[in-house]
Amino acid sequence: MLKQINNITPDLSLSTDIAIVGSSGTPKKVNWGTVIDGHSDIIRFNRAPTEKYEHTVGSKTTLRVVNNHVFDNIDAASDGYTGQPQYFVKGLRDTRILYIAPDPGPWYRRKENTHWSNIIYLYDYETTSELKKKYNYSEKLHMSLGLIIILLCVESGIKPHLFGFDTMGLERTHYWEERPKAGPCHDIAKGQNIISKFARENKVEVYK
């Protein structure tokens, strides 16, 4: 069964049988590849790879969600990240890509930032204000891409299966690379609390 996701142009529908694969280091402890690939829709974020990590996180992707830096093919090495090819998005082919960011500039450059074979979607970022009010999230801080997607699914009547999401106040990590300490732009603890609450309410299934 498909459900239309609100506030996205052009219209985007996702399966109720969906896996959302976070980028945390949690999957390194478990081989979820086969379980993840068994879902009809599989969402991944930014430059999170599958190659060489198929046993851990699977190989199939039906939607790639990216922020402004990744969509604009910005080099992340100077910020202390490893394992992030600068032109990852530019190299994607025949892929559905959802752009979520407050900055419209990279979206206007989408023809030069991506390949013509991709289908590009835009999330109406102003509507995050509604989500922040509903879930008591600070208006001054940005929600993570993962949290936004989880909220959009739940709001659309989808119960997603979550892989690679930390829900116990753990330090932020990536399963494939070293990453610098997280900055103050997100309320990570609040996001984890929302996910944990959803799990208790049977609105999401969290794999640990």
Cα 70 from Cα 86, distance rounded (Å): 8
CB 98 within 8 A of CB 62: no
| Dihedral angle over CA of 198, 202, 205, 206, nearest 10 | 50
Question: What's the whole-model pTM score?
Answer: 0.95
What single letter denotes the amino acid at residue 189?
A: A
Cα-based distances in Å from 127 to 148, 157, 165: 10, 18, 23
Mean pLDDT, residues 88-105 taken together: 97
Residue 170: pLDDT over 70: no
Higher pLDDT, 155 or 83: 155
CB 167 within 8 A of CB 192: yes
CB 60 within 8 A of CB 42: yes
CB 116 within 8 A of CB 122: no
Per CATH, the number for 2-207 is: 3.90.1480.20
Instruction: State residue 4's pLDDT score.
Output: 97
Instruction: State residue 169's pLDDT score.
Output: 62
Query: What are 117-149's pLDDT values in tens digits?
Result: 999 999 999 999 999 999 999 999 999 999 999
- Nearest Cα neighbor of 85 from 95, 70, 97 is 70
| Dihedral angle over CA of 141, 156, 49, 70, nearest 10 | -40
Residue 200 phi/psi, 5-degree rounding, is -65, -30
Average pLDDT, the chain: 93
Beta bridge partners of 2: 15
Residue 182: pLDDT over 70: no
Beta bridge partners of 96: 119
DSSP code, position 75: -
Return the domain boundaries, the chain.
2-207
DSSP code, position 142: P
Give the Cα-Cα-Cα angle 188, 101, 52 (nearest 5 degrees). Answer: 70
- Nearest Cα neighbor of 100 from 148, 139, 135 is 148
Residue 177: pLDDT over 70: yes
CB 72 within 8 A of CB 113: yes
